[in-house]
Amino acid sequence: MARYCNDLMERALKGETLNRPPVWLMRQAGRTDPEYNKLKEDVKLTLEEMFSNPEVAARVSLLPRKLGIDAIIFFQDILTITTPMGAPFLFRPGPVLDKPIRSIEQVKALRTFDVGKKLDFVPKTLKLVQKELDGEMPVLGFAGAPLTLAVFLLLGQSFGPDSSLFKKAMADDPKLVLALVDRLTDVTIEYLLMQAEAGVLAVQLFESAAHLLTIDQYKKFALPAQQKIFAALKGKIPTICFAHNWNDIKTLSDAGADIISLPSTVSIKDARKVLGAGQIVQGNVSNHLLESGSKADIKKAVKECLVSSERRGHVFNLDHGLLRTTPFENVKYIVEAVHEACAELGPVK
């Protein structure tokens, strides 16, 4: 008996060929959805309060059901684990840390903690979402990759075009950066294991700062932590590796995740020439195209993605999260476009 009424995600993660791949979108819960913005006004909570309130977080997590997606990713932020470590970010509106990490002494002062006790609102949120879904579709978990979290902690805010302070830290004080990454890695493992125990189908690791790195820097500062995390989760839960705008497919594979999320700059067909024909993949329509493209442009990109993947071991997604200025009509349409394109292509032979 199928675990879910909609089991497309579960089957795609096993590498099956499907007439239609499952669809979910990074940042599908929030920002672009008018219903989310109204809910945010009604509850009168700060963003960090919304994340830690299971009832509110569950309501937000479930909003994308109306889109016709095939998996729910729970509403939370990648910075969640830093607060009980003694580095709380406040969202005003973007994340801001009062005392950025600038010394090895600050790294050593970061607290270890009982994930189950300090972040108990996470499994509570997941249980509420699963109860409401009642087997309708699976729930996905996630965490920020240690190097990405380290960038936030070093800068004390979101990273933008100017991340020179972080780049200077890698060059001038690599031991500080590595110590911070190491401190975050074990906590991330425990955090993802807690989500696995709470019943999520799979977990994604977000290396959102990948685009700031050279290949050598990626191999030194990001990859070892990814490898440690995926090795710890191996056999316990399917894992997805996401690295923002990262085109070196070999290093994505070296991380050891079960599923690789691809940038829009590399076709699935070409990626599998490196990864192997059986590699399960996720992606990979451009989030910028979805933001500003016409329906015809979106439909064309969707169809090309489906043809490239051969609809085998493929989870349809974007190459990164929904941009804040993406019209909600486009968000709704891309899900429709997958259905339309699959119908036009016909059953997989």
Q: Does a structural domain hold residue 329?
A: yes
**pLDDT tens per residue across span 248-284:** 999 999 999 999 999 999 999 999 999 999 999 999 9
Question: Measured between alpha carbons, how far is 266 from 12 in angstroms, rounded to an integer?
Answer: 20
Q: What is the domain range of residue 305?
A: 8-345
Q: Give the CATH number of the domain where residue 268 resides.
A: 3.20.20.210
Q: Does a structural domain hold residue 1?
A: no
DSSP state of 88: -
Does 197 have pLDDT greater than 80?
yes
pLDDT of residue 78: 97
Average pLDDT of every residue of the chain: 96
Lowest model confidence (mean pLDDT) among 90-94, 238-242, 299-303, 324-328: 90-94
Q: Which residue has the tokens 């791949």?
A: 21
Q: Does a structural domain hold residue 3?
A: no
Question: Measured between alpha carbons, how far is 122 from 220 in angstroms, rounded to an integer?
Answer: 31
Banded pLDDT at 161 (limits 50, 70, 90): low
pLDDT of residue 2: 64
Mean pLDDT of 106-121: 96
Does 1 have pLDDT greater than 60?
no
Q: Does a structural domain hold residue 179?
A: yes
pLDDT of residue 130: 98
Q: Write a three-state SS string for 170-227.
A: HHHCHHHHHHHHHHHHHHHHHHHHHHHHCCCCEEEEEECCHHHCCHHHHHHHHHHHHH
**pLDDT tens per residue across span 219-243:** 999 999 999 999 999 999 999 999 9
Strand stretches in 208-331, DSSP E: 239-243, 259-261, 280-285, 314-318
pLDDT of residue 171: 94
Question: How many structural domains compose the chain?
Answer: 1
pLDDT of residue 107: 97
With contact defined as beta carbons under 8 Å apart, do 183 and 150 qualify? no
Banded pLDDT at 74 (limits 50, 70, 90): very high
All residues at 6 or more sequence positions from 198 whose CB lies less than 8 Å from its CB, including other chains: 122, 123, 126, 127, 141
Task: Please give the structure tokens belonging to residue 143.
Answer: 């965490």
Q: Does a structural domain hold residue 140?
A: yes
pLDDT of residue 160: 77
pLDDT of residue 163: 84
Q: Does a structural domain hold residue 332?
A: yes
pTM: 0.96
Q: Does a structural domain hold residue 142?
A: yes
pLDDT of residue 349: 83
**pLDDT tens per residue across span 6-39:** 999 999 999 999 999 999 999 999 889 999 999 9
Q: Which residue has the tokens 């009980």?
A: 84
